[in-house]
Structure 1
Amino acid sequence: MANRDNHFQSAFGSYTLECYPLEKNTQLRAWNAADELALSHLKEQLDTSTELSQRLNDTSSKILTINDHNGALSIPIASSLAELATPGKVHCWADSTLAKSALQHNASINTIAEAVSPTFIASTSPLDGPYDVVLLQTPKTLSLLEYQLRELRPHLHSNSLVIACGMVKHLHHSYTERFEQLIGPTHTSLAKKKARLILPTFDPSLDLPEKPPVTQYSLEQWPITLTNLSNVFAQNKLDIGTRFFLSHLGAEQQHISTIFDLGCGNGALGIAASQLNKEAKIHFYDVSYLAVSSAQHSCADNNIENETRFHAMDCLSEENAKADLILCNPPFHQSNTVGTQIAFRMFSQAKQHLTEQGELRIVGNRHLNYHIMLKKLFQHVSVLDSNKKFVVYLAKD
């Protein structure tokens, strides 16, 4: 029997949805009121527009969801259209490997046949339109929204229905402006349960503003140039936690031959480590496809001679190799909730991937008290440095 908190009653029926990664006693829910509102609006359009209904009944029609992190938009639509048995009809485009895993998991527990399950597309991969319907959960960053709208535009046609949704507290006026600038005339719905819709009409003749340049900045003391694609943490300058961490990487130690940059972002830690150890193999890991791509760009721009590998994955969940040194500046936000669950998973998996002499070095905000969870996992935990905001820890067995 489904947990009450996992029971999603949508305009297209009832479904069981679970947040991914699966965690006991999680406070997070796999959907929000914005998902409910977007699906209700789509259902209303289907009920009142014979033309739209007929188009979606055509086997060549396609539906796209964007930033659908747990399948709350994709699963109900795919299920309701299952009788058409059209593979690839519903596409799910997102920047997180967790979104891919969540989509597969939730399609499975809702017994959606593999042949009609939503097709996942990574954010760095091209879309496969044109799309008749697009449902978009607005992302946390304006830079990611702009990237997505620019990539989406060539895959729309004059009758495409675009429905964007989000919680009111996160929908700034600049979001509506981006839709007007990049898609066409836009209006918003009334708020319901603290959620709102953004409803643009595609204008194929729209004169688009100039595409913003890719963000790059330099660390003069190394020297290193870093590339930040959209959705990468510390979009316009290196975050102060990483900057504080750079003096305590320990990559120059003689026994270190393999280094993991876990949660790599733009690759700052791994690239800095490569400057200290020219012989080490450097592996970069991040849940974000755009982050991994940023790290690849950064390595290329800095002519890194070390052997490098890049992995889009959930922590180290698909990795079999071990490292002599793992560097990590863990995130402490999941969705819009502050917590240490992600950090604990990163530390736990790091422990399983260290060599006998291996060590984990991390930086974290002082108030997060990472030493408590580190001491539950490792025999030896020490503070390498600290200031009023951050602490650098070394953990090993």
Structure 2
Amino acid sequence: MTPDEVLAQLRREPDVEAPDLVAVDATDRLLLDTAGDLTGQRVVVVDDAYGALTLGAVAAGARDVRVAQDLLVGERALALNAERTGLSGTHRPGSLDAALFDGATLVLARAPKAFDALRELTELAAAAAAPDVTVLVGGRVKHMTLGMNDVLRTGFAEVSATLARQKSRVLVARGPRPGVAPSFPRCRHDDALDLDVCAHGAAFAGARVDEGTRLLVAALDAAAPDARTALDLGCGTGVLAAVLARSRPDLEVTATDQSAAAVASARATLARAGLERVRVLRDDAAATVPDASVDLVVCNPPFHLGAAVVTAAADRLFAAAARVLRPGGELWAVYNNRLPHRAALRRLVGPTRAAAHDRRFTVTVSTRR
């Protein structure tokens, strides 16, 4: 099959499907077109949304395609699309590390939202890829800034940009600079919590503690005092899991997140604190946690899906909390005051009351019916 024939078969499954949502967009197509002849190329793909870059590169003749995807739903969509197109087994999934980039001649990447995520990719590609590597980073024009060029220049001597096409653009980097070394995860000591917080580039909030998490931490002494098991749902860098495990030595704590960067960051944070007993899982909405098995869930849910402010991601986590909580168990959540989560918490979990608030955030406790 030609690349166009492959791309025409791709779907978003298991992610949300809707008439106005696509599995292949203009950025995917521009990246593949900019790459040109892929015959024999050793390709690394970073954060392929649903498999367009990976399977498009395979169909165009790439001989060694390695893929790192931060979100678990993206991995699953790629696997389903590879099966759908008869291309299963033609790529190698991996972690975002130096081994992934070893000897690569081409890197195809969707532009990340966070500069640190681009910085981590830049360091790894410059340190481990082939000397003649070309790095292509594509995104929507409205989400790309000149600062991205500056980040790429920390690792590469030549950085340029393509002309825009269908509101997308690609940054092109060549000539790895000598002496560039990977620097992630980066750790920073938080004085208020007396905790070293470690973060990979794509982890939410990086190595700092966001204000919503601080408000929830301050309220946790009152959370389910008789709990024997706890779950940090959407754990990010693992701050909540670390606070719970450190303050309650007899509490069995699990932390889950669907982001590979979050899971790696949480493991680093917990290891730095000597809390390796906390179990950290890469999981989508606690899918592998048994029903009615947890006494306490803590959650600082995301309020963005891509660039849009939506409630769907939080509602999925609230529903997951309801499933894993035992009757009488508690969900302690924090969210921005302007978001209408309290009604959803009552509907999905049970009776809900405010436990703390400030000018921006509210902490609620919901009791499982």
- The answer to whether TM tops 0.5 is yes
Moved more, 175-184 or 357-366: 175-184
Partner SS state of residue 246, structure 2: helix
Letter in 1 for 2:56: P
**Aligned counterpart, 1:38:** 31
Letter in 2 for 1:216: C
Partner SS state of residue 100, structure 2: coil
Cα deviation for residue 13 of structure 1 reads 5.3
Cα deviation for residue 308 of structure 1 reads 1.3
Cα deviation for residue 11 of structure 1 reads 5.1
**Aligned counterpart, 1:313:** 283
Aligned length: 366
TM-superposition CA deviations, 1:221-274 (whole Å, max 9, x none): 443222222211112521111111112225664421111111111111111112
Moved more, 358-367 or 271-280: 271-280
Partner SS state of residue 196, structure 2: strand
Letter in 1 for 2:86: I
- Note the 1:60-139 alignment, pairs <5 A: 61-81=41-61, 89-109=64-84, 111-116=85-90, 118-123=91-96, 126-127=99-100, 129-139=102-112
Contact 1:31–1:70 (CA under 8 A) maintained in structure 2: yes
Q: TM-score, normalised by structure 2?
A: 0.89
Cα deviation for residue 340 of structure 1 reads 1.2
Q: Gaps spanning 5+ residues in structure 1: where?
A: 1-8, 47-51
**Aligned counterpart, 1:256:** 227
CA spacing shift, 1:208–1:103, aligned 2, 3 Å:
same
2: CA distance between counterparts of 1:165 and 1:24? 23
Q: Gaps spanning 5+ residues in structure 2: where?
A: none
Contact 2:101–2:124 (CA under 8 A) maintained in structure 1: no
CA spacing shift, 1:113–1:219, aligned 2, 3 Å:
closer
Cα deviation for residue 364 of structure 1 reads 0.6
TM-superposition CA deviations, 1:34-75 (whole Å, max 9, x none): 212111223xx32xxxxx64xx2xxxx522211112112112
CA spacing shift, 1:358–1:125, aligned 2, 3 Å:
farther
CA spacing shift, 1:13–1:216, aligned 2, 3 Å:
closer
Sequence identity (%)? 23
Cα deviation for residue 326 of structure 1 reads 0.5
Letter in 1 for 2:30: L
* Aligned Cα root-mean-square deviation (Å): 2.6
Partner SS state of residue 249, structure 1: helix
2: CA distance between counterparts of 1:119 and 1:323? 35
Partner SS state of residue 304, structure 1: coil
**Aligned counterpart, 1:3:** none
Moved more, 314-323 or 271-280: 314-323
Moved more, 213-222 or 285-294: 213-222
2: CA distance between counterparts of 1:319 and 1:65? 30
Contact 2:45–2:108 (CA under 8 A) maintained in structure 1: yes
Cα deviation for residue 153 of structure 1 reads 2.6
Letter in 2 for 1:319: V
TM-superposition CA deviations, 1:77-108 (whole Å, max 9, x none): 22444xx9x7xx32212222222112112223
**Aligned counterpart, 2:114:** 141
2: CA distance between counterparts of 1:26 and 1:251? 46
Contact 2:294–2:324 (CA under 8 A) maintained in structure 1: yes
Contact 1:12–1:76 (CA under 8 A) maintained in structure 2: no
Q: TM-score, normalised by structure 1?
A: 0.83
TM-superposition CA deviations, 1:344-385 (whole Å, max 9, x none): 111111111112331111001111110121122123122212
**Aligned counterpart, 1:385:** 356
* Residue 188 (str. 1) matches residue 157 (str. 2): no
Bigger Rg over Cα: 1
Contact 2:321–2:349 (CA under 8 A) maintained in structure 1: no
**Aligned counterpart, 1:15:** 8
Correspondent of 1:202 among 164, 172, 175: 175
**Aligned counterpart, 2:152:** 179
